[in-house]
Structure 1
Amino acid sequence: MSSRVTSRSSRTSQLRTRAAVLAAGLGVSAVLGAGVAAAADATSASASASASASSVASAVEAQAAAQAKAAKVTASAKVKAQAAAKKKAAAKKAAAAKKAISWVHPVKKYKLSAKFNQAGGMWQSTHSGQDFAVSSGTDVVAAHGGTVVKTGGNGAGDGPAYGNAIVIRHGNGTYSQYAHLSRIDVRVGQVVATGQHIARSGNTGNSSGPHLHFEIRKTPNFGSAVDPVAFLRAKGLSL
């Protein structure tokens, strides 16, 4: 009887011990599980913070790149605008230069004397051109390219007052006349270039001294002249 009771007590004690161990194990597991969960939460939070920081950094980099690109585009546009302005200025200058050389002075180192429409006893009514005072034998050139339509004494047909003369036809119904020449070096029908030698100045015809009488006409004949100084200035020449 005593032996059976002892045996049961021992078994009960063993069962209690096992239960306690099991409970302790479960407690440890629960603690460990909580720790793992907490660690997992911490890891997740850290990863989230890292991702957020990375996202901010990427946004900053993207913004910086966009600003750099915009600055580059602005700089490029500025350079292009400056280049276009320079090109426009150069074109304007070239056009002005071309305009200036399209007509040239008929003589060099001159002094303007009798003016267009000037009254006086030297002419039937008023002066029909502009006089360029130069010494006899001065080189006379075509003020603009064209075709020689009149040459010779007696004003090339316009009257003895002009002496030896030349008339050149230019484009747009414009003619130039050169008178009081000492020598004529072109012929009717000859095509001449702007600035090409055509004659030598002189003192022939109704002249009070050596000079070149120069006219701009609307026809090849006397009576159709316009102010040659105003005409040449409109072509970019200074007189």
Structure 2
Amino acid sequence: MSQRKLSRLARPSVLRTRAGVLAAGLGVSLAAGTGAAFAATGGDAPAAPAASTAAVQHQAAVQAKTASKAVAKAGDAKAKESKAAANAKTAASWIDPVVKYTLSASFGRGGNMWAAKHSGQDFAVPIGTAVHSVHGGTVVKAGSYGAGDGPAYGNAIVIKHANGTYSQYAHLSKIKVFVGQYVKTGQLIGLSGNTGNSTGPHLHFEIRTTPNYGSAVNPVNFLRSVGVKV
């Protein structure tokens, strides 16, 4: 075979080789370009940090909302506690049976005005003066003739308190409560008067250990022991 013929046969081979190289290079370039384009447009891989940030922000919002609810709940609890303390203080308090008065006949006083010694403390006040419960409790007696303790008391009321103490209010002109009724500290229960064995308008007040006559203790000493300045 001549030299010229060999040369012709070799050219297509070389051309094919060059074409293969170019094709390979083009493939590499296309692959590189595609990767660059993928990186530039942001595929699935870059999206992970964004999703993670959103999750953190959502969690922070949830925590902030939870903390806000906790603060509100704590505030409500504190308000309820303060209210309960105020109610407890009111329930524990004792007061005078009348607001403006002059102390007259005292406990244990003797004389021909009483069959025995005076069983209570008299508060000299005009007829119609508001009489208040000295402490919260339940009315156990209310009516004329001393509500069962005798006509000398006139219109009277007896209230039982939680500590087993009883308070009595006598010589009333009006009774504003009924047996079985619960009254709060300071509640209006009647109006002062001059009924029964009385020489002038006043409130006869007793502190008793039972609801009945004969169990009275010094009411002024008792009221002072519970913080009332008589």
Instruction: Work out whether the TM-score is over 0.5.
Output: yes
Counterpart among 192, 200, 215 of residue 206 in structure 2: 215
Is contact 1:99-1:236 (8 Å) kept?
no
Counterpart among 214, 220, 226 of residue 229 in structure 1: 220
Distance 1:169 1:158 in 2: 15
Match of 2:161 in 1: 170
Match of 1:129 in 2: 120
Counterpart among 150, 157, 163 of residue 159 in structure 1: 150
Cα 1:237–1:101 shift into 2, 3 Å:
farther
RMSD: 1.9
Determine what percentage of the aligned residue pairs are the same residue. Answer: 70
Give the gaps of 5 or more residues in structure 1: 1-93
Match of 2:129 in 1: 138
Query: How does 1:35-54 map onto structure 2 within 5 Å?
Result: none
Cα 1:112–1:205 shift into 2, 3 Å:
same
Q: CA deviation at 1:100?
A: 11
Q: Larger C-alpha radius of gyration, 1 or 2?
A: 1
Q: CA deviation at 1:99?
A: 8.4
Give 3-state SS (helix, strand or coil) of 1:108's partner: coil
- Equivalent residues, number: 145
- Letter paired with 2:224: R
Is contact 1:163-1:205 (8 Å) kept?
yes
Q: CA deviation at 1:231?
A: 0.2
Runs of 4+ in structure 1 displaced over 2 angstroms?
98-101
TM-score normalised by the chain length of structure 1: 0.58
Query: How does 1:53-64 map onto structure 2 within 5 Å?
Result: none
Give 3-state SS (helix, strand or coil) of 1:219's partner: coil
Is contact 2:127-2:194 (8 Å) kept?
yes
Q: Deviations over 1:110-166 (max 9, x none)?
A: 000000000011111100000000000000000000000001000000000000000
Match of 2:97 in 1: 106
Q: CA deviation at 1:101?
A: 6.8
Distance 1:167 1:138 in 2: 18
Counterpart among 172, 188, 202 of residue 197 in structure 1: 188
Query: How does 1:176-195 map onto structure 2 within 5 Å?
Result: 176-195=167-186
Is contact 1:100-1:237 (8 Å) kept?
no
